[in-house]
Every structure is written in C-alpha cells, then in structure tokens.
Chains A and B, each alone.
Chain A
Amino acid sequence: MLEIWLGIKAAFWLVVTLDADLIEIAARSLLVTLSAVAIAAAIALPLGAWLAVGRYRFRRLVIAVLNALMGLPPVVVGLVVYLMLSRSGPFGVMGLLFTPWAMIIAQVIILTPLIASIAHQSIRDLWAEYHDLLISLNTSRGQRIKTLLWDSRRALLTAALAGFGRGIGEVGAIMIVGGNIDHATRVMTTAIALETSKGDFALAIGLGFVLVGLALTVSILIHMLSGTEVRDRW
C-alpha cells in the first residue's frame, strides 16, 4: 500500500519538475501510438464500412474472423513482427528492428482488427436505417460508404479511441520489436516494466499514474477538438 502513496508522490514530482526523461518517453509513447492509430484507422474504417455494405461470400465467417482478431495476443504479434523485421527475416534489409517504426508496425497489426470490428458494428446498424433511402437514391457503393462513415463519425471516434487505449497501454509487442532501448525505443509501458523488474515499485506506479493521466488528456483533447457533447450536437 505504501508504494501507491510513494507512487503518487513520484508521479507528482515527475510531472511538476517536467522531468526530461519522462517527457521524452511520454512523447515517444504518444508518437508511436497516435501514428499507429492513424494508420490503423485509415485502413480499418473504410474496411469496416465496406464489410457492412458489401454482399459477398462467407460474410459471416469474415466477420467472425475479424472479431476474433480483436483478441490477437500482442506478444505473438510482437514475435511475428520481430521474425519478419529481423536481419535474418524477409524484411531485414530495411533495418527497422529496434526502431520506433517497428513498434508502429506491430501496433497497427494489433489495432486494425479492433477498430475495424467496432466500426463495422456501428456502421452496420446505421446501414440498416439508411438502406432503403440510399438504395432509392441510386447511390454508388463508394457514395454509400462515404455517407455512412460521415454519419457515424461519433461511433468511429469511439472506435479510434478504443484503439488508442489498447495501443498506449500495450507492452508485450513493443518490448520485443522495440527492445526498450534508452533514448531510442523506450516508452511509458516498457519503462514501467523495467522499473518493476528493478523492484522500484514506487517509480513504476508513478509512471503508471502519469500514463493514465496521459491517456485521459488525449481522450479529453480529442473530444474537445472534435466538438462532441456541445449543446444539441453529438
């Protein structure tokens, strides 16, 4: 219990004194996860809409697989990405292993199915509502997807934030492909794992509080910037 108080104290001082190492790893955490969310959303949102609107064979199977992939174990993704990016692997010549790029790649793989599944779910509900209207207007499939994406933007924001939440707290994959190298690939979660392994629970939990605060700040900021929950708007 004592550690939790010490942790709160440690978190307070780290933030108040703008600790240089803390700022660096927090910035890197944000950079990696926000990039991964942006790339994953660019793939997953159109994919989710296309899956909702399209009629194709094995539809149920495809959706079931997509939903199952939400549970991809990060450590397995990390291992596969490691083997791909390793100098002995197929993409080794690119020299991406133990760089932030490798961490972004791993997180895109983890986040895409999650964002696509949530997006698909909400777009499908909206599609049920819009179906007759959009058909009667003789819209093309591209137009339907665009309309559905725009009109369900609030739910898609939630999908992206769910992806951000999973990415910012993830440690298994980025530890393997990033290597937790000081001043190169160390991020909040791998730093927490490191301090825990040193038995310095107070600093570890202090970093944990800062991480939670960071996630909260990003979420609030995004909601403010996108103008949700203001008067009659949604």
Chain B
Amino acid sequence: MMRTLFALAIAACLASPLAAETLRMAVTTSFHNSGLSDVLLPEIAKDTGLDVQLVVVGTGQAIRLGEAGDVDAILVHSRKAEEAFLAAGYGTHRREIMYNDFAIIGPSSDPATIAEDAETATDALRRIANVQAPFASRGDDSGTHKKELALWAAAGIDAAQRTPDWYKEAGAGMGATLNTASGLNAYVLADRASWLNFANKGELALLFAGDPVLFNQYAFLPVNPAKHAHVKAEAAAMLEGWLTSPRAAQLINGYTINGETLFAFNAE
C-alpha cells in the first residue's frame, strides 16, 4: 500500500518537469498575483515548448537569485536595481515588456481625504502623513517598496517622520501586506493587478490612481551566461522573443479583471 502510494507520488513529481525544456525565471509577487502568468505560461508552453518555472519573490530577492545564477532570467520592475544588476555584469541586457500602474488603496472612510483633495501621488502621501492615518508598507526591498520610498522622498517626508505608531512595515509580499492593510484599515500602495485580484478587501477601496509617476515598468533581464555558464541562454532568448511578439501583445493587452485592463504592452 505505502509502496504503491510512494510510486504514484514519484511518478507525479517526475512526470511534468521532464516533458519539455525548463527555464527558471524569478518574477515579482505583483506580477504573479495579477494572474497574468496563469494566462501566459500555457501559451508559452504551446508556442515554444518551454516549461517556464516561476520563482515568485520580491524584486530584491529576484535580483539576488539572478546574481547567484539560480534562475535563468528575471522579470522585475525596479529600474535602478535593474541597472545596477546590468552594470555589475550579471545580466546581458534589459528589455522592457509592459507596464501597469500603482494605486493608493485605503479605508473607504478616507480620513486623509485623498480621493477628493489629492492632486498628485506625493500630495496624497503628504495628506496621509499629516493626519497620521495608518499606512501599511511592504518593507521588503521589493520594486513596490522602492517605489513607495521614492514617493515618500518626493513628498519630503523622511524615515524619521514615519513613526511606527502609524507607519507599519509589514516586511512581506503584496498579498500579505494587503491583508495587513485590510486588518488595520490602513492606506497602502499596491499595484492595480494585485488589488483587483485580492479577495480579502474588507473596507478598503481604491482611492487614488492615474498620476504618471505611478506607472510601473516591467523589464525582462536574462542572466549573463558569461558569469554563469549553466544558464539556459538560448531558452531565455526564445522566451524574450515570445514575450515581445504580437501574440504576447495581444494576450497582455487583452487581459482583464472585472472588465478592467491591467497591463499595457510596450516592448519594442
């Protein structure tokens, strides 16, 4: 009995990865939580025969995995970190694929009145800081976290002013941070895709979006085979070709949740 079960389990575990050439790609939680990967991966497998395995982490960890050569490519959204990655020779090049946008989510009672009064994203953050309304931060060195910190800096509110009694660093992924925000009825910066797919909204609502500074560019960076000879450079090139093809454009632009378009394809 146990032996049969065991044999079955082994078969189940070995069957799928051997079927096609596999490529490991580190992607950000926000990309994965959007649900777009569930649409793209089967199509990639059908068109190119590549079995793309996603390691879902924050941008900070994704870049570390790329530097260590533990993945073949990364798909992230933090330009400065990407450029540092390239400058150190860990990646061959950077290819822009698509963008989505960030939004400021918060309690529908909106104590900082950002939905009505805020002109820009930085103005919205300033208003939140002024009333010291609870704010949940990713705090995990991810692309979204870096974006949020850049916005705080632009708003002129430094780390010392963001006291822990209202500014809560979750130190977690997008979904977990949204859970925290939902529990505390706090404001939070989230990408639109994760927000729309998030099931535990509670009393939260999307309060502010549309400022061009909130646009969020995703880029594909293959890991440099000169640094790590074992990486599958050819498979990565094939994937890049697919991600920038008209077929990908159609699927990415056509992906909607509740009728809302989430991503805009902009590869050249």
Complex Cα distance, B180 from A196, in Å, reads 11
* Residue among A24, A88, A100 making CB contact with B68, cutoff 8 Å: A88
For chain B, the bracket of interface size reads: 35 or more
B137 CB–A CB distance under 8 Å: no
For chain A, the bracket of interface size reads: 20 to 34
Complex Cα distance, B6 from A221, in Å, reads 14
Contact A181 B13 (CB under 8 A): no
* Residue among A86, A92, A182 making CB contact with B54, cutoff 8 Å: A182
Query: How far is the CB of B63 from the nearest CB of chain A, in Å?
Result: 13
Contact with A along B200-239 (1 / 0, CB 8 A): 1100000000000000000000000000101000000000
Q: How many A-B residue pairs have CB under 8 A?
A: 90
Complex Cα distance, B55 from A97, in Å, reads 11
Contacts of B156 in A (CB 8 A): none
Complex Cα distance, B97 from A153, in Å, reads 60
Complex Cα distance, B67 from A87, in Å, reads 9
Contacts of B67 in A (CB 8 A): 88
B17 CB–A CB distance under 8 Å: yes
Complex Cα distance, B35 from A194, in Å, reads 13
Nearest to A24 among chain B residues (CB) is: B12
A98 CB–B CB distance under 8 Å: yes
Stretch of A10-18, A28-36, A49-57, A154-162 at the chain-chain interface: A28-36
Complex Cα distance, B179 from A24, in Å, reads 28
If the complex has contacts A98-B24, A98-B53, are A27 and B173 also in contact, measured as CB distance less than 8 A? no
Contact A197 B179 (CB under 8 A): yes
Contact A199 B178 (CB under 8 A): yes
If the complex has contacts A197-B33, A199-B200, are A98 and B16 also in contact, measured as CB distance less than 8 A? no
* Residue among A27, A87, A198, A201 making CB contact with B9, cutoff 8 Å: A27
Nearest to A99 among chain B residues (CB) is: B17
A135 CB–B CB distance under 8 Å: no
A184 CB–B CB distance under 8 Å: yes
Nearest to B24 among chain A residues (CB) is: A98
* Residue among B10, B56, B70, B176 making CB contact with A86, cutoff 8 Å: B70
If the complex has contacts A197-B179, A198-B175, are A184 and B16 also in contact, measured as CB distance less than 8 A? yes
Query: How far is the CB of B66 from the nearest CB of chain A, in Å?
Result: 10
Contact with B along A198-220 (1 / 0, CB 8 A): 11110000000000000000000
Query: How far is the CB of B140 from the nearest CB of chain A, in Å?
Result: 12
A23 CB–B CB distance under 8 Å: yes
Query: How far is the CB of B181 from the nearest CB of chain A, in Å?
Result: 11
Query: How far is the CB of B91 from the nearest CB of chain A, in Å?
Result: 15
B69 CB–A CB distance under 8 Å: yes
17 additional contacts (CB under 8 A) given A27-B8, A92-B69: A28-B13, A31-B9, A31-B13, A34-B6, A86-B69, A87-B70, A88-B67, A182-B53, A184-B17, A196-B175, A197-B29, A197-B172, A197-B173, A197-B176, A198-B197, A199-B199, A225-B2
Task: Report, nearest first, the 6 A-B pairs whose CB atoms are least far apart.
Answer: A197-B175, A199-B200, A87-B69, A31-B9, A27-B9, A199-B199
